[in-house]
Each structure stands twice: as C-alpha cells, then as structure tokens.
Amino acid sequence: MSKLINISEATSIAIHSLSLIGYEKRQLNANEIAKITAFSKNHLSKVLQTLVKQGYLKSVRGPRGGFSLSQDPNEITLLEIFEVFEGKIHSDFCFGHHEKCPFEDCIFGDIIDEVTIKFKESFGSRTVGDVRMKESFKSK
C-alpha cells in the first residue's frame, strides 16, 4: 500500500523512545525500550546513539545504565526529531525537474504544498511531552 507521507522506522523508533523515556521520567535501557515498543534492539540502539549525539538523550553505561532525556520533553517537537532522521522538509517540492517542466501550473495543484504545510504545523506544534500512553500501559 502506498503512503503519501513516509516516516522511516528510525524516525518512528526515535519518537517512540523519546516519548517513552519522557513519560517514565526515569532512565530506561535499550532492553526495556525494545521490550515495550517491540522494535529491534539492534536498530533501537543505533537510533538511541544518534539521539545522544544530537543532544536529546544522555546515556549511562553499565548494568545500571540507560538513557534519559537531556531536555524538557515539552521542548522537543516531533518535527525536529523527524528532521534529524529524514532531513529538512522543503516547501518548494516538485516531483519533476522544476526548470524543465512544460506546464504553466503544477499539475498536482497545491495539494503537495498544503499537505507539507499541515504536516509541519502538526509535527511542529506537538512535543514529546504531548504524547500520551495507553491506559493498559499505565497500569503496568
């Protein structure tokens, strides 16, 4: 099935992990995060290291080690995490070669720009701290 917006597994892992750590308000190790989210521990570990390098997480090694947020979860937008893994979103998107397009107006109309603007507004206004856990998770 085709998707208009494609979010990579790395981006999904990053947003889920940051939200989970922010919700728990404590240090979590990669095994705990992998168990809760069902993501591959190997891929998860790579993503967590990227988040450490980018300054979103702090890590502590050892048997009592793990990851904690290095910023307030209400200050980390989903858009900035998306752009860490997917790259900066550009509004001047063209499926073809803009300078070689034979059409006066874009054949796709304004839909691509509208979706891009809506996505940026939505992900830019939602933070890691806004993400809520399911009731069934809270009881564990």
Give me 138's structure tokens: 């809270």
Residue 68 bridge partners (DSSP): 58
Q: What is the pLDDT of residues 70-124, one digit of tens each?
A: 999 999 999 999 999 999 987 666 666 667 778 777 777 788 888 888 999 999 9
CA dihedral sign, ordered 68, 69, 72, 78: negative
pLDDT score for 81: 97
**Mean pLDDT of all residues in 38-42:** 96
pLDDT score for 139: 40
Pairwise CA distance, residues 1 & 73, whole Å = 33
For the chain, which domains are there? 9-128 (1.10.10.10)
Pairwise CA distance, residues 41 & 47, whole Å = 10
Whose tokens are 């790579």? That residue is: 46
Grade residue 69 by pLDDT with cuts at 50, 70 and 90.
very high
pLDDT score for 132: 81
**Contact in structure between 10 and 47 (CB atoms under 8 Å):** yes
Residue (of 10, 22, 13) closest to 57 by Cα position? 22
Grade residue 136 by pLDDT with cuts at 50, 70 and 90.
low
Query: pTM of the entire structure?
Result: 0.85
Give me 140's structure tokens: 């564990």
